[in-house]
Structure 1
């Protein structure tokens, strides 16, 4: 079983993942874990853009592709699958909803919340001003959207790309976890 979690900045993605991991005894693959594994395997440099959800420079990408280079997207997908395919786990970000879209034992979740709720969470988490939190939210969300679109040609946050879309600003983290668990039970994935 896999649970993929895509999330707006400040919507509580890590909190939801940690609670699910504890209840289901699953490992979490997040940016930190992917970076550690890439460094262990000496493949960090070639995967740095992907690991940091940084879109590839489109001009350089088009030049490389015209000379027959392999699509970096394929390398990224292979890297995620190599690390997670044999694992029952939770994957945060990294286009995992797309990578495992055809896996019947995978539940893809998108977490979102009102900007004010997310701003408050970021301010509290990072001990920053409202202005800094709003800037962080905008930058991170724009980066994630561009990255998802470039790597998968899908729209980040489009409800059609996920099994569940949950507004954590309305229902909170604990109930979001319960909704995901109930969905997993309903689909007989456990």
Structure 2
């Protein structure tokens, strides 16, 4: 099962890397000799969510609507663990960006409680490399804390405990007590991860551009809210054919 998971992640990353390379090559071909236009950049969407708040599903749907690539915590974990995958992702950005990235990583880990491990370092490199290309949705793994604010649209999803317990119970076919334990433990793990690695209090709304309580909205409503807000904020448009262009 683990091998199958790694193979799936490898395939996802390989496909994404080829698209990044093709996109840059295609753009370079269109440039006239006397012109040096900048390739349009659209910031990534970094999602943080309380366990059971529906953040993963909303992130997936937003990625589909905007035609962005989806990177969830499972994919980011595998990229961080696998040196070959990490290297491939890092190689998609130029040397100048890598230098700036190292400075940003040093800044992130400065005066933190613990020394950064290899996993943490590769995780940060992977997230920053993905964000450098933009047009992606990153869910979990502290992406909102890793990516500089000017290169990300940071969203936090929350919901009352009872609703989150009910959602997890239904989604995973657990009893109410099992679901409650799952929600409490995994929420605590996420909070500790962010505090220990990035000295971030995930409950501080100032760390996000938008905080949404999903108790009051349907998944469709939230998806529409985020995609519409993103398009207006970053002057990003999707025509009827599904292609993007800078207005």
Find the partner of 2:129 among 63, 79, 82: 82
Structure number with the bigger relative contact order (C-alpha 8 A, sep ≥ 6) is 1
Q: Which runs of 4+ in 1 moved over 4 A?
A: none
Find the partner of 2:174 among 121, 128, 144: 128
Q: CA deviation at 1:173?
A: 1.5
The answer for unaligned runs of 5 or more in structure 2 is 1-42, 87-112, 237-247
Find the partner of 2:230 among 161, 184, 190: 184
Q: Which residue of 1 aligns with 2:195?
A: 149
| Native 8 Å contact 1:110 1:157 kept in 2 | no
Q: CA deviation at 1:40?
A: 5.1
The answer for unaligned runs of 5 or more in structure 1 is 45-60, 66-70
In 2, Cα distance between equivalents of 1:188 and 1:6: 20
In 2, Cα distance between equivalents of 1:6 and 1:139: 16
Secondary structure in 2 aligned to 1:187? helix
In 2, Cα distance between equivalents of 1:178 and 1:184: 10
Q: Which residue of 1 aligns with 2:95?
A: none
| Native 8 Å contact 2:79 2:123 kept in 1 | no
In 2, Cα distance between equivalents of 1:75 and 1:39: 7
Q: CA deviation at 1:41?
A: 3.4
| Native 8 Å contact 2:131 2:152 kept in 1 | no
Q: CA deviation at 1:29?
A: 0.6
Q: Which residue of 1 aligns with 2:144?
A: 97
In 1, Cα distance between equivalents of 2:190 and 2:81: 23
Q: Larger C-alpha radius of gyration, 1 or 2?
A: 2
How many equivalent residue pairs? Answer: 166
Q: CA deviation at 1:87?
A: 4.1
Q: Report Cα offsets for 1:100-130 as digits up to 9, x if no partner.
A: 2332x42100000111111111011100000
Q: Which residue of 2 aligns with 1:18?
A: 60
Q: CA deviation at 1:43?
A: 7.2
1:30 partnered with 2:76: no
Q: CA deviation at 1:175?
A: 1.3
Secondary structure in 1 aligned to 2:57? helix
Q: CA deviation at 1:84?
A: 4.0
Q: Scaled by the length of structure 1, what TM-score is found?
A: 0.78
Cα RMSD after superposing both structures: 2.2
In 1, Cα distance between equivalents of 2:162 and 2:218: 14
Q: Which residue of 2 aligns with 1:5?
A: 47
Q: Report Cα offsets for 1:32-65 as digits up to 9, x if no partner.
A: 2224434553479xxxxxxxxxxxxxxxx75xx5
